[in-house]
Amino acid sequence: MSDGGLFAIHGEDAVYHLGVIYSTSEATLRMFGAAYMRDPRSIGSLALIDPKGQIVATFDIWTDDWKVVADDVA
């Protein structure tokens, strides 16, 4: 996903790709994703992707918040 300036949320679980949601607003996707993950019937995990296709953050169900992915992992 490298064009259009769209952010995305990718959802997946251990078996299935659950879908992708696109928006020009990173904040909107963060709010939507957090609300989705707080629903007790939700499954899987979410990753927030920037317009260049890089993972920006993942939702941590244990802390109930988005965790920023480090740019350079040593």
CA distance 35 to 16: 20
CB count in 10 Å sphere of residue 69: 13
7-63 residue pLDDT tens: 999 998 878 888 999 999 999 999 999 999 999 888 889 999 999 999 999 999 889
Quick check: is 2 in a domain?
no
Q: What is the pLDDT of residue 73?
A: 52
Q: What is the pLDDT of residue 16?
A: 81
CA distance 50 to 52: 5
Quick check: is 32 in a domain?
yes
Total structural domains within the chain: 1
Domain housing 55: 7-68
